[in-house]
């Protein structure tokens, strides 16, 4: 039946008790049983982000430029610190958003409007050319702006194919996209080659680093083999990175950056013909929580470069051991050569989706790939604490599937859901 408002108010204690009780059927993400959605470096860092968020629980970041100077200062400082992290040149600009999809939509809109001005065609819509592994946020942007997304097959190593992407270009192409890394396979696309292509053809290259942007720089500082992906690559026009993923900041918080102020100028929404006066905003949404800004600023200040390197050291020690254990299991193999914290694995002799079904019986929410069929996990530190339990259940699940005569699984790979 449809819920209705209670006729009279209820005691606060009862309401809070209900909230806690409703979680009983949720996946135990703190126990590492969710393949995505939640990111944690430590309880202490989470607690700091929560405390900072609550300090600005009521403030509205929409009014940062007029009413809340402290929010404006924090947002500016977060963006400036990130610009340095991504080796942006002098004059580069950036903005905070409420999430990766919003960052991608804003980048696509900014590219479209910049290209319209540059080509002298105010009605140009055009197309975006990207690898098949690119995030669906670009397709959402295309639906909103009547653009076309041309998805091109990846190479044998699951990375974008610059030659195939060039073959998909035409006179209406406005944007190329590379991922750092892509969500399905966890590999960083050949951004240097894409930058050369973008420069040669006079096109805008966006790097979607929403997944790995706040982990890859520190991985490189630790000496890991991380391909160039940021503004150090000539030809990169814009870059997006999610603070609430491996920045370990409270949700919602993402960032998007532009190489030049001329590009960034097209990011803004500016409407003057309104009885209430000029309406200017740097995000698709209007009202947005200032707590997300405060939380990001606080976590940046607390961790600093050395803190993020410590977290990355612990995270990669776990992930390297995790990959070694997968490779040691007969019949299992890792999809591609993941650069960061996303690892997918498949099986040669059994339906890996059947394994996922068995794992789900023990409370593990299955993350899946469709092409190829694989189990997919985007990991942070809660996964490290549960790794022995995971592998014990994985071995048991494989044994059940290998001894069974049942047919293929009917599971469907899915990220979001209704």
CA gyration radius, the chain: 22
Domain spans, the chain: 13-43+305-397, 48-302
pLDDT (tens digit, 9 = 90+) per residue, 242-251?
Answer: 999 999 999 9
Per-residue pLDDT, averaged over 6-34, amounts to: 95
Q: How many CB atoms lie within 10 A of CB 412?
A: 8
Spatial CB neighbours of 244, under 8 Å, sequence gap ≥ 6: 39, 99, 250, 251, 252, 253, 254, 292
Q: Which of 350, 345, 353, 351 is nearest to 325 (CA)?
A: 345
Query: What's the topology of domain 13-43+305-397?
Result: 3.90.1150
pLDDT over 90 at 416, yes or no: no
Q: Measuring CA to CA, which residue among 179, 233, 248, 251 is closest to residue 210?
A: 179
Q: How far apart are CA 244 and CA 198, in angstroms?
A: 29
Confidence category of residue 281, pLDDT binned at 50, 70, 90: very high
Any idea which fold 48-302 has? 3.40.640
Compute the distance between CA of residue 13 and CA of residue 397 in angstroms, rounded to an integer: 42
Residues 92-145 pLDDT 10s? 999 999 999 999 999 999 999 999 999 999 999 999 999 999 999 999 999 999
Q: How far is CA 194 from the centre of its chain?
A: 20
pTM value surpassing 0.85: yes
Q: What is the mean pLDDT of the chain?
A: 96
pLDDT of residue 204 exceeding 80, the answer is yes
């Amino acid at each position: 039946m449809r819920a209705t408002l209670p006729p009279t108010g209820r005691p606060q204690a009862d309401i809070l008790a209900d909230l806690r009780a409703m979680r009983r059927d949720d996946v135990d993400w703190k126990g590492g049983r969710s393949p995505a959605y939640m990111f944690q470096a430590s309880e202490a860092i989470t607690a700091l982000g929560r405390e900072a968020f609550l300090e600005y629980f009521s403030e509205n970041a929409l009014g940062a430029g007029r009413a809340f100077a402290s929010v404006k200062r924090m947002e500016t400082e977060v963006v400036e610190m990130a610009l340095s992290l991504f080796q942006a040149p002098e004059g580069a600009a950036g903005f905070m958003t409420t999430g990766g999809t919003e960052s991608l939509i804003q980048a696509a809109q900014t590219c479209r409007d910049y290209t319209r001005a540059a080509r002298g065609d105010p009605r140009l819509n055009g197309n975006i050319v990207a690898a098949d592994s690119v995030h669906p946020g670009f397709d959402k942007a295309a639906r909103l702006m009547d653009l076309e997304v041309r998805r091109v097959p990846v190479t044998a190593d699951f990375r974008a194919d610059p030659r195939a992407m060039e073959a998909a270009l035409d006179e209406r192409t406005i944007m190329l996209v590379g991922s750092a890394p892509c969500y399905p396979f966890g590999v960083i696309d050949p951004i240097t080659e894409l930058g050369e292509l973008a420069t040669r053809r006079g096109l805008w290259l966006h790097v979607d680093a929403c997944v790995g942007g706040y982990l890859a720089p520190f991985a490189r500082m630790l000496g890991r083999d991380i391909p160039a992906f940021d503004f150090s690559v000539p030809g990169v026009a814009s870059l997006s990175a999610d603070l609430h993923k491996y920045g370990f900041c409270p949700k919602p918080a993402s960032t998007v950056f532009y190489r030049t102020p001329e590009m960034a100028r097209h990011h803004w929404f500016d409407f003057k013909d309104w009885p209430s006066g000029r309406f200017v905003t740097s995000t698709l949404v209007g009202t947005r929580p200032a707590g997300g800004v405060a939380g990001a600023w606080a976590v940046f200040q607390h961790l600093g470069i050395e803190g993020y390197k410590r977290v990355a050291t612990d995270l990669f020690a776990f992930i390297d051991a995790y990959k070694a254990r997968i490779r040691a299991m007969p019949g299992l193999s890792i999809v591609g050569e993941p650069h960061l914290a996303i690892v997918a694995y498949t099986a040669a002799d059994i339906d890996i989706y059947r394994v996922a079904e068995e794992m789900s019986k023990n409370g593990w929410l299955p993350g899946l790939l469709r092409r190829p069929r694989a189990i997919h996990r985007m990991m942070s530190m809660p996964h490290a604490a549960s790794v022995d339990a995971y592998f014990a259940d994985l071995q048991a699940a494989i044994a059940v599937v290998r001894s069974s005569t049942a047919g293929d699984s009917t599971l469907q790979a899915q990220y979001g859901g209704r």
